[in-house]
Structure 1
């Protein structure tokens, strides 16, 4: 029986950006178990913030900038703070989540996830805006028109909201989160942002 490692994330979650190098190492370390069909990895979108056209309140802006500073100090993660001067931020991550959902259908979810993170954290572009997401889609080889149509379809059908509901049902309420689904048993995997080996051990032990 193949167990499933669920990785719950939001492409605009700054702690997910901080976790990215360690998560990449963990995925590589798990490749043997994946090849032996003992394990599969399933990404799940968490949905930090609903659709909104309202400018982000100053208090929230200050809080997020402090979070970026904190992650940079703790993990050495790079952030481009120009974002806060050159954009009008909105507390809205659902569009970026939908972009990853669209890319999943093309087998490009991780590529989209990384493109959005690159645009947001390094290039100081706003992934709450459709034009940034279209740019990310084209960067990973998707056609702008088809991408926009798929985004509208996912929004209309409420497909992202269904996935978010599923994540909540599994108690995956913080991002990133890792949990191992083995039969009908869900085992939470404690995150280690700086060393993938402790998580690897926990997963192997749970299997």
Structure 2
């Protein structure tokens, strides 16, 4: 067993499935995640929901729509991310991401959280579908292999809503700076990782450096305690 496996090391990815910057970050996150799996196999990857916007039936204001459109254009220009702007004509936008967050929690129970995230993102940003609508989420649940009837019941259940609120509360105790965010936790001690949208290697190098430093300090601490014990 490696020294690394003797401590609890976790990288948390803080996201909202309807966060446009999370969509822009997706290629880099996939590359970073793969590097962690291959080169740091003892590090656990955890997905945590941040929750952008609570449930609302109110139409999104024209001002907010323009702000979000501008954000999409900025991400497309900076990162080359694809967006389907037909969404703003075909759908009735609402500032409400909690339904999509609950969908991800339900999918997590079946080990399908990552599949649900990408299904929501592709529906929203590429296919001009509205993930604020339950009908859209139920169709996506069926698409990724979940039972649509059971999913539909859970989507509006108080239990899932409370689970979401608890997770959001816990997430906001971490050292995050908006969404997406990365947090490295070693034996319960948290440190924010700098996030690069185009150069995932920078985040990986920081993670490696912190882990190596922490493990080296821990190893030296064990030696010093052993020497202190032998001297008595």
TM-score normalised per structure 2: 0.86
How far apart are 1:151 and its partner, in Å? Answer: 1.6
Aligned twin of 2:210: 206
Structure with the larger RCO, 1 or 2 (CA within 8 Å, 6+ apart): 1
How do 1:149-164 and structure 2 match up within 5 A?
149-153=153-157, 158-164=162-168
Higher Rg: 2
Question: Residue 198 of structure 2: which of 190, 194, 197 is its match?
Answer: 194
Q: 1:23 to 1:157 in 2, by over 3 A?
A: closer
Question: Residue 20 of structure 2: which of 11, 14, 27 is its match?
Answer: 14
How do 1:45-124 and structure 2 match up within 5 A?
45-124=49-128
- The number of aligned residues is 205
For structure 1, the residue ranges without an aligned partner over 5 or more in a row are none
Deviation larger for 112-121 or 183-192 = 183-192
Deviation larger for 12-21 or 155-164 = 155-164
- Between the aligned partners of 2:170 and 2:140, the Cα distance in structure 1 is 26
Q: Is the 8 A contact 1:167 1:173 kept in 2?
A: no
Q: Aligned-pair RMSD on alpha carbons?
A: 1.2
Question: Residue 24 of structure 1: which of 11, 20, 30 is its match?
Answer: 30
For structure 2, the residue ranges without an aligned partner over 5 or more in a row are 1-6, 212-232
Instruction: Provide runs of 4+ in structure 1 moved above 6 Å.
Output: none
Q: Does 1:174 align with 2:178?
A: yes
Q: Is the 8 A contact 2:49 2:171 kept in 1?
A: yes
Q: 1:55 to 1:122 in 2, by over 3 A?
A: same
